[in-house]
Amino acid sequence: MCIAVPMKLVEIKDDMGVVEHSGVQRDVGLMLMDDIQLGDWVLIHAGFAISKLNQEEAEETLSLLKQAKLIE
């Protein structure tokens, strides 16, 4: 099963970024995104930010993933 997880962008380094959720940070590729800024919520799949979403959508998605026990 493949899922995309919402995470918050906390650092940008050229075409790479650092995202965070629940204290876990990951390096991700930002090459697929236009107009991305620090603090944006993005969907992460296979190490890449693939879409931007607002905080409400991110929180709802994270809640559903927790309910399904796909994330902690």
Per-residue pLDDT of 23-45, as tens digits, reads 999 999 999 998 899 999 999 99
Q: How many C-alpha atoms does 46 have within 13 Å on its Cβ side?
A: 5
Query: What mean pLDDT is reported for the chain?
Result: 93
Domain boundaries, position 40: 5-67
The verdict on residue 72 lying in a domain is no
The verdict on residue 40 lying in a domain is yes
- pLDDT surpassing 80 at residue 1: no
26, 19 Cβ separation under 8 angstroms? yes
Give CA–CA dist 67/37, Å, rounded.
Answer: 29
What's the CATH code of the domain at 42?
A: 2.30.30.140
Structural domain tally of the chain? 1
- Nearest in space to 10 (alpha carbons), one of 36, 45, 31, 35: 36
The verdict on residue 39 lying in a domain is yes
65, 2 Cβ separation under 8 angstroms? no
pTM attached to this predicted model: 0.87
The verdict on residue 42 lying in a domain is yes
